[in-house]
Amino acid sequence: MADKGAFKREQWKSQLGFLMAAVGSAIGLGNIWRFSYMAYANGGGAFLIPYTVALFTAGIPLLLLEFALGHERIGSAPMAYAKASRNWEWLGWWAVVFVMFGIELYYTVIIAWCLDFFVLSFNLGWGPDPNTFFFKKFLGLSASPSHIGGIQTVIFVALIIIWLANWFIVYRGVSKGIELANKIFMPLLFILTAVLVFWAITLKGAGTGIKAYLTPDFSKLTNPKVWIDAYSQIFFTLSLGFGIMIAYASYLPKKAEITKNAYLTAFINCGYSIFAGFAVFSVLGFMAVTQGKPLGKVVSQSIGLAFVAYPKAVSLMPAGNFFGAIFFLCLVVAGLSSSVSILEAFVAAMVDKFGYARKKVVTITAILGFLGSIIFTTQAGLYWLDIVDHFLTHYGLVVVGILESVLVGWLFGTYILRDHINKVSSMKIGLWWDFLVKYFVPLVLGIILIGDIYHEVTKPYGGYSWAAVLGIGVDWVILTVLLAVIFATRPWQRDLNQVSRAETFGDEEWDRDEIT
């Protein structure tokens, strides 16, 4: 039986370490390939207006909420929610369960693709037709989700490497593993991205791409969908609703610059997205000019951008193999820093509740995660990835965001967390935060949720059969809810009132002005 006595949590070695870990979780694959396309499709430079509004009215308020909840309640998402209201523990478990045994499973496979393409870059191994190579040879895409097919060996091998990297980093603990890794990953990512940007803007036609990326079309701002897209992007890009930021904040000492760290995390993440977009659209502009096509003919979103459009561009540019290697290395680093945080959020929850040995939990969870990822390495993997991603991100994350706002705003009390934030932070927040958390954030997320449900019931998502949508997407959501309820109904092996912060790194060793 686990010890129910006093339990002291691990702790970050420095404020900078915490910030790098939070930024590492927030910056992921979507920052590189999703934001720039979304800006282009939603008014170019004009999109920065709703994007900035969304950042200040939803992104930062929710980030403050999750930082404060983890820090004030001293726990992972399930423990923090249980300390706020015992009846809401299930919500914390649902967040870490569907993220770990849903999003993490296919996210690591996408990182594995990036690792494979990093290797392929050196000799342009995708050949003259990246589209055919990616979908037919690399993925071996089957006819439908029900035609599972075989495992793609090259993806499977890369997946083993990615899961070993995740296991190794989280196994080493908070300060010696996650903090140290992100202190390496984040500077490396910023340097590699800067190389990409400054290289890309020198390419012929780069100006054409940048103009398309940033030219404001203010008429788009009258379209409600543009605003909904902005709020959706902010919510997803900051890792909100994942349970990650709650766990990370629980490793902070008593004196912690919660407000400053929240603003810095949000600004660095969003600034990185905008900056990386210059590289993306410079390359697309180069493609358009080189091939004599309108930019709209070479622009694609998400997976098509990273694994079809970019490889094609790399094949056309001088020394493109090195450019491609840097690009895919960026994706690997960005992906790993995020996947590590997902694994940590679940591990923290298991250790908090059941008192299991941390290293054993990390090992077992990594093995189960790897086994669960295998379905996404099959010939039907892309279909399964698309369906699971849609349902977990559009319903799981949004519902968690709504309910955590309700819990803190209406049941626990925003004033408790606001007073705590102001007590430990040099930057104070006012009643505006209470209003946003209690009223505005649930309203916006509720609108997004209702819109998604409306589109869902009118026709099956993505043109898939109802059987595939229900059997893969809906059932996956239901199973994660059931698993969360099971975890929540088990007795605590920790005394919630005896959990405290470790004294390994005393508060006096922290420099509150280390991050300015």
C-alpha triplet 240, 241, 247: angle, nearest 5°: 85
User: d(Cα 136, Cα 201) in Å, to the nearest integer?
Assistant: 32
Quote the DSSP letter at residue 491: P
Rounded to the nearest angstrom, the gap between the alpha carbon of residue 422 and the centroid of all alpha carbons in its chain is: 28
The three-state secondary structure class of 151 is strand
Instruction: Give the number of other Cβ atoms within 10 Å of residue 61's Cβ.
Output: 23
DSSP 316-359: HSTTHHHHHHHHHHHHHHHHHHHHHHHHHHHHHHHHHHH---HH
In total, the chain counts a number of residues equal to 516
Per-residue pLDDT tens listing for the chain (516 residues): 444 545 567 889 888 999 999 999 999 988 988 888 888 888 888 999 999 999 999 999 999 999 999 999 999 999 999 999 989 999 999 999 999 999 999 999 999 999 999 999 999 999 999 999 999 999 999 999 999 999 999 999 999 999 999 999 999 999 899 999 999 999 999 999 999 999 999 999 999 999 989 889 999 999 998 999 999 999 989 999 999 999 999 999 888 899 999 999 999 999 999 999 999 899 989 999 998 888 888 777 678 788 988 899 999 998 889 999 999 999 999 999 999 999 999 999 999 999 899 999 999 999 999 999 999 999 999 999 999 999 999 899 999 999 999 999 999 999 999 999 999 999 999 999 999 999 999 999 999 999 989 988 888 998 899 999 999 999 999 999 999 999 999 999 877 766 656 543 344 344 433 333
CATH of domain 8-491: 1.20.1740.10
pTM summary value: 0.93
Cβ contacts of residue 285 below 8 Å, gap of 6+?
203, 205, 206, 207, 208, 209, 210, 211, 212, 295
